[in-house]
Amino acid sequence: MTPEWDLVVVGGGPAGMTAAQYGARANLRTLVIEEMAAGGAVLLISDMENYPGFPEPVNGYEFSEAMRQQTENFGAVFKSATADSITKKNNIFTVETSDGPVTSWTVVLSTGAKHRHLGAPGEEEFSGRGVSYCATCDGPFFKNKKMLVVGGGDSACDEASYLANLTEKVVMIHRRDRFRAQKVLADRVQNNSNIEVRLNHTLEGIQGESKVGRVVLKKTDSGETYEEEFDAVFIFIGADPQTSMAPDLEKDDAGYLITNQNMETSLKGFFAVGDVRATPFRQVVVAAGEGAVAAHMAAAHIDDIKGEVYAGIK
């Protein structure tokens, strides 16, 4: 049996679209399955200023549309559907979707991770207008401004330390009486003169006009609430990688897929790229590079399979 596709990419963000571009350029029959609009989390970025080749900030939607058009120009096909499960039998993958099954020699999973939200009043309203879930993405927009960091884990401490290089006014709150981050990371935050730590605090609301202007904070030990002016709110309370369609693949403690340097997961021919993958640095440019590597190695994997088939015919 010959599958209908050589490469199926599940998820149409920058990592997935780059994989599709490199796959199609390598003459692979390439399909991208995306349940929403191509671009993924990039669609939420109003001004992306740190992607190479763009001296002026580029709108996330415009960037995504250009990338989608480029992907189609190379010959990849987009399918609007939800991928429910991925299985493998006799070297062929079957992706069950809301629009029927598709088969392929290889699969690249680029479904990303969803940032956990607090659900505080104003959080959704001001998302992208002072509320952020990525310090390296948005922190530079608020240099020398007053920033609030919410969270107490490793990522929250790392991101707060990064923001403290941009301003002397970082306030970090955590709902418990101690951080749950590794001691070395927690100590780094507590010893940073640019970071004011307030334990036993929760964020009760975010307010402003066209952008974040102030927040409502609550002291959990006394129940007292008060307002304070801030220019930005960074929320780091974890993220959930979207791996439900591949439950048996090897993951790290946080649920991210583990790959080798070829972006290949614990299942041969199955690759993972972007925010769904265990990686030390999550940025658009990194995700794109991972997509290119995955497509290149997918092509090599297909050559190996076909070589085995041809050898068996002799």
Residue 29 is given by DSSP the state -
The answer to whether the CB of 104 falls within 8 A of the CB of 302 is no
Q: Is residue 137 among the annotated active site residues?
A: yes
The 10 Å Cβ neighbour count of residue 299 is: 20
Residue 74 is given by DSSP the state T
The answer to whether the CB of 98 falls within 8 A of the CB of 181 is no
The Cα 186–Cα 55 span in angstroms is 36
List the one residue out of 305, 277, 307 whose CA is nearest residue 293. Answer: 277
Q: Is residue 252 among the annotated active site residues?
A: no
The Cα 143–Cα 63 span in angstroms is 24
Q: Is residue 187 among the annotated active site residues?
A: no
The one catalytic residue in 47, 84, 99, 134 is 134
The one catalytic residue in 6, 84, 137, 154 is 137
The Cα 50–Cα 53 span in angstroms is 9
Encoded tokens for 135: 């310090």
Adjacent-strand bridge partners of 100:
97
The one catalytic residue in 6, 138, 231, 275 is 138
Please identify every residue annotated as catalytic: 134, 137-138
